[in-house]
């Protein structure tokens, strides 16, 4: 469900014509629907209303301050994976007491910042990391609440780049090492083992991998309890998929019901880390057609958004629906929609049936709210796009388009200005 629609022949975001936004802010441009964002968060949150829980939005999916602030107002926490995301979450009004810190490569500076902020919990991914957090917490006179991320060796049946729950993945600890880690955390000054963490991947469209992982987590918790290690939090991560094309992921209601049923009243506060399912279909990327070209072998639509603006098609071979901003009766042709980047891998769609377009036409790349702008780069020295948030019949610029001056900010020519 989302609030991008055609009340007539023109695409709207909520009650605003997309063309009106582009007329003011240009292309490429990310546009987000606040109503969609709020609806998706509330649907997910309500799915776990029968048990104690905390929804920690996965900041890496979309870290714009306006998005984070909107979720903070709804009571969301944050799942972060860097010091920068910690900074963003707190700036947006998410209390540190609702923040969990995941990720395999936390630096000393990031750990120190999180300890000073007194976040809810570290999700620890290696024994060396556990020891470092304990040493730093003890030195600072703090107590670090920790959960070890266990790797249940469950196949999430998703793209290998976003699979995280197999033994061959870099994430988490095998169960035997995790048990050793909890024993260490119990004895080490500065550490308080309060939770167990498990996250198996992203864009998962079946319930069975989640349930298989949860069963293994429950067995592991029983081992901890036998050793006298009591936990308060069970962090089940995120990963619930969205429909990009013909996927039929379970609705959050059924996802919640299945997990709660499997837990059978266990006395833990659940922590959930949804990202894509909250924001994925709340955003689009709008791009303008620059040229069309027919080589005799293939027809191309060349647009002003490239792989630097939306990396998913080039990186994962991902499908995003592409629709005209203005609907007209035109012949359907099969085209590659490609960007201006000097790479053969720069495409938004391949062999895609689309209505014929002409230079100046606008196209909307759907389901671009997650892993869109956050993965954008300045490759080919291209300024990153503007971001706009729509609320009802109003729209707001929530990130300015970068300028050429932004591209070189911080760069120094050493033999000028007395540097050499």
Q: What are the residue numbers of the active site?
A: 342
Residue 247, CA atoms < 13 Å, CB-side half-sphere: 21
312 is in an annotated binding site: yes
Residue 360 marked as a ligand binder: no
316 is in an annotated binding site: yes
Closest CA to 221 of 266, 279, 272, 275: 266
Bridge partners (DSSP) of residue 80 are: 101
| Contact yes or no for 293/336 (Cβ under 8 A) | no
The token pair at 130 is: 């556990």
CA 121 – CA 99 distance, rounded (Å):
7
Query: Which positions ≥6 away from 283 have C-beta within 8 Å?
Result: 30, 31, 32, 33, 62, 367, 368, 369, 370, 372
Transcribe 328-346 into DSSP letters.
Answer: ----EEEEEEE-SSSSTT-
Q: Is 268 annotated as a binding residue?
A: no
Q: Do the annotations mark residue 371 as ligand-binding? A: yes
CA distance 285 to 62: 13
For residues 382 and 360, give the distance between their C-alpha atoms in angstroms, rounded to a whole number.
20
237 is in an annotated binding site: no
**Structure-block tokens of residue 352:** 């895609």
Q: Does the annotation flag 273 for ligand binding?
A: yes
- Chain centroid to CA 337: how far? 25
Q: Summarize the annotated binding site for substrate as residue ranges.
A: 276, 312, 316, 343, 371
Q: Summarize the annotated binding site for pyridoxal 5'-phosphate as residue ranges.
A: 239, 273-276, 371
Q: Summarize the annotated binding site as residue ranges.
A: 239, 273-276, 312, 316, 343, 371
């Amino acid at each position: 469900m989302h609030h991008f629609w055609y009340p007539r022949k023109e695409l709207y975001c909520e009650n605003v014509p997309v063309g009106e936004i582009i007329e003011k802010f240009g292309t490429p441009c990310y546009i987000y629907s606040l109503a969609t964002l709020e609806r998706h968060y509330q649907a997910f949150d309500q799915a776990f209303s029968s048990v104690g829980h905390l929804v920690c939005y996965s900041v890496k999916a979309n870290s714009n301050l306006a998005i984070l602030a909107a979720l903070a107002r709804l009571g969301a926490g944050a799942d972060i994976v860097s010091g920068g995301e910690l900074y963003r979450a707190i700036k947006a009004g998410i209390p540190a007491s609702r923040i969990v810190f995941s990720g395999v490569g936390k630096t000393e500076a990031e750990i120190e910042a999180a300890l000073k902020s007194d976040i809810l919990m570290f999700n620890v991914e290696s024994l060396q990391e556990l020891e470092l957090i304990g040493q730093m917490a003890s030195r600072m006179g703090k107590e670090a609440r920790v959960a070890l991320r266990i790797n249940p060796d469950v196949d999430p049946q998703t793209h290998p780049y976003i699979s995280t729950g197999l033994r061959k993945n870099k994430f988490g600890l095998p169960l035997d090492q995790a048990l050793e880690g909890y024993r260490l955390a119990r004895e080490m000054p500065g550490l308080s083992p309060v939770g167990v963490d498990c996250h198996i991947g992203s864009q998962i469209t079946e319930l069975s991998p989640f349930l298989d992982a949860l069963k293994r987590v429950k067995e592991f918790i029983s081992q901890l309890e036998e050793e006298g290690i009591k936990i308060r939090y069970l962090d089940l991560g995120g990963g619930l998929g969205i429909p990009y094309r013909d996927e039929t992921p379970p609705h959050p209601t059924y996802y919640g019901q299945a997990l709660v049923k499997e837990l059978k009243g266990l006395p833990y506060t659940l922590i959930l880390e949804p990202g894509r399912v909250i924001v994925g279909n709340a955003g689009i990327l709008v791009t303008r057609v620059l040229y069309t070209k027919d080589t005799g072998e293939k027809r191309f639509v060349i647009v002003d958004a490239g792989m630097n603006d939306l990396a998913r098609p080039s990186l994962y071979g991902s499908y995003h629906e592409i629709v005209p901003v203005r609907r007209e009766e035109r012949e359907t042709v099969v085209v590659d929609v490609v960007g201006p980047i000097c790479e053969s891998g720069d495409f938004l769609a391949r062999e895609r049936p689309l209505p014929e377009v002409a230079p100046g036409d606008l196209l909307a790349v759907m389901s671009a709210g997650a892993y869109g702008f956050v993965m954008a780069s300045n490759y080919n020295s291209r300024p990153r796009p503007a971001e706009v948030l729509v609320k009802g019949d109003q729209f707001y610029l929530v990130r300015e388009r970068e300028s050429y001056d932004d591209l070189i900010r911080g760069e120094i020519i050493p033999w000028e200005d007395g540097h050499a």
